[in-house]
Amino acid sequence: MKKSLLTAAGITAAFALSLALFAGCPTDGGGGDVDPPVLNAGNVVSTLYWATVSFTSNKAGTWYYVALPVSDSAPDAGVIKAQTAEIKGTGSAAAGTNTFTVTDLTSEAGTYTAYIVAEDAEGNSSGVLAVPGIRAGSMNLLPAALFSGAVINAIAYGNGIYVAGAANGSMAWSEDAAEWTEISAGTGAGESQFSSSVLTVIYANNIFVAGGINGQTAWSADGKNWTAGTGLPGDAWISTIVWDGTRFVAAAATRKICTSTDGKTWSVQDPDLSITTIAGIAYGNGRYVVVGTNSDATNGRQLAWSDNLTTWTGKTHAEIQGMLGAYVQAFNAVTFARGIFVAVGQAGKIAWSDNGETWNTTTGSPFGSSYSSQPINAVTYANGAFVAAGGSGTMGWSPDGNTWNTIEAHDKVFGTSIIRGLTWGGGKFVAVGANGKIAYSE
C-alpha cells in the first residue's frame, strides 16, 4: 500500500490556502457588489422660490434629481441622470441623510415633485424616489400695522414664538406670524422694559435677548414676559447681538463691544475699533466680524475682525473700495453661514468673505449697483439660502451668497416701505419694517 504524501502540516497549509482562495472569489458570479442603493424620502420645506429636500440612502455614491410640475410624467432613472430638465442637480451621496436645495420654482407652475436617483461606486442605480409637495411660496402682508405704525426694527424666532421690537419701545409676540400680541413700552411689570427704541432681538441658548438705545437690554424665556438686563452704561446703544456658542456678544453703535454669558448681566469692552457707528456683528469659524460706517470717508474703517474681541484689525473705506469698487458708503448688517460672511449695506452693496479679511463683490444685486441704489438693511440665512432686504420693500435671495436673484415684484408687499429686519422660523420667513408693517411667507 502506498503511503499518503500529505502530512498533518501539509493538510493544514492546503486548507488555509483553499480558504484564502475562496475568500477572494466573488459569490455573485464575479460581478462584485450588485446591491443598489435604497432611498427613502425625508422632509420638504418650501419657501418663496426655493425649497430644501432631504432623503436617506443606505449607501454612499452620487445622487441626481430633477423637479417637475405635478402635471408632467414621471421620468426614469436615465432621464434623471442625463440632467436635461430645467430644474435639476447632482451631488455626493452620503450613507445616511442627504439634503439639497431646489431653486427657480415659480408659482405659475404650482406644485412640483422631485425625482431622485442614486448610484453607488460600482454603478448600481437605485430606484426612482418621488418626493412630492414642493412649491413656490409668497409673502403676505398683515392687513393692519402694529405699534401704531412705528418702525419695527427687529424680529427673531425661537421656541415656537416670533418676537418683534419697535422704535417706540414696544414689543410683540406671535405663534404664527399672523396674529400678534403687543407688549407696551415701559419698565414696569408686564411691559417691554424699554423706554425707547428696541434695535435688535435674538433667540439663542434657550432665551430671547433684546437690546436698544441708552444701554437698555431685556431678556425673556418665553418671548412674552420680559426682565430688564443690567450692567450697561447709557451710552451703549446695542445695535446687534450674536451668540458665539458660549456667550452673547453685542455691538453697540457707539463703538463698544458688550458680552454676557446669560443674556441678563452684561459687561463692556471698549476696544479700538475705529468705526464711527457699528451696525452689525457676526461670528463664524472662531472669528468675529463687525461692520458699520465711518465719518472719515477715506481712512476710517467700515469693517473689522477679531479672534478674541480684544485685538481688532480693519479695512478702511478706501481699502474696501479697492476690493469691491465704488459706492461702498457703509455696511448695515452681516451674517455668517455656509462657511462665509455676507455683508450688506448702502447703495445696494453685497459682499462676501471666507475669512472676514478679504472680501469679494457678488454676481448681481437685486438692489441695484449705483450710488443711488436701494440700501440693504438686513441679511439672514435659512432653508438653504441667504435672504436680504432693504429700501422700497426690495428683497433678494442667493443659494450661495455670491449669485443673487430678485424676489419678484408681486412679493414686494411692503410697497415703498423700508424693510428693517428678517428672520426664519416655523417654516416661514418674516420681514418687518417701516410703518408698523410685518409680512410672512407661506
SS (H, E, C) 372-388: CCCCEEEEEEECCEEEE
At 368, is the pLDDT very low, low, confident or very high (cuts 50, 70, 90)? Answer: confident
Q: Strand pairing of 287-293 and 395-398?
A: unpaired
Residue 356 contacts residue 305 (beta carbons within 8 Å):
yes
The pTM of the full predicted model, rounded to 2 decimals, is 0.85
For residue 271, the model assigns a pLDDT of 81
CATH 2.60.40.4070 domain residues, the chain: 39-135
Q: CA–CA separation, 243 vs 200, rounded Å?
A: 13
Do the beta carbons of residue 393 and residue 382 sit within 8 Å?
no
Query: Three-class SS of residue 155?
Result: strand
* pLDDT of residue 41 exceeding 80: yes
> Where is 52: in which H helix or E strand?
strand 50-57
For the residues of 199-227, what is the DSSP string, one character each? EEEEEETTEEEEEESTT-EEEESSSSS-E
Enumerate the CATH 2.130.10.10 domain ranges in the chain, comma separated. Answer: 139-441
The CATH number of the domain covering residues in 39-135: 2.60.40.4070
Helix/strand/coil for 82 = helix
Tens of pLDDT, residue by residue over 78-116, are 999 999 999 999 999 999 999 999 988 887 778 999 999
Of the candidates 120, 122, 117, 141, which has an alpha carbon nearest to the alpha carbon of residue 60?
120
Asked if CATH classification 3.20.80.10 holds for the domain at 139-441, the reply, yes or no, is no
| pLDDT of 249 above 80 | yes
DSSP structure class, residue 148 = G
- Cell digits of residue 393: 420693500
Q: Which amino acid is at 350?
A: I
Over pLDDT 70: what percentage of the chain? 89
Q: Summarize the confidence of residues 326-343 as an average pLDDT.
A: 88
Neighbours of 181 (CB within 10 A): 12
Check if the beta carbon of residue 291 is closer than 8 Å to that of residue 279: yes
Which region, left, alpha or beta, applies to residue 310 given φ > 0 means left and ψ of -120 to 50 means alpha?
alpha
DSSP 54-79: EEEESS-EEEEEEEEETTSPPP-HHH
> What would the pLDDT profile of 284-333 be if each residue is shown by its tens digit?
999 999 998 877 766 678 899 999 999 999 888 778 877 777 656 688 99
Question: Residue 88 has which C-alpha cell?
Answer: 435639476
Per-residue pLDDT reduced to its tens digit, 370-422:
656 788 999 999 889 999 999 888 899 999 999 998 887 556 788 889 999 99
Task: Find all residues with CB under 8 Å of 6, minimum gap 6, and list them.
Answer: 14
**Stretch 22-28: mean pLDDT, rounded?**
43
pLDDT at res. 17: 40
In angstroms, the Cα distances linking 69 to 74, 85, 326 are 10, 11, 43
pLDDT of res. 298: 66
Residue 186: phi, psi to the nearest 5? 140, 170
Q: How far apart are CA 255 and CA 269, in angstroms?
A: 9
Cell numbers linked to 48? 418663496
Measure the N-to-C terminal CA separation of the chain; round to a whole number of Å.
93
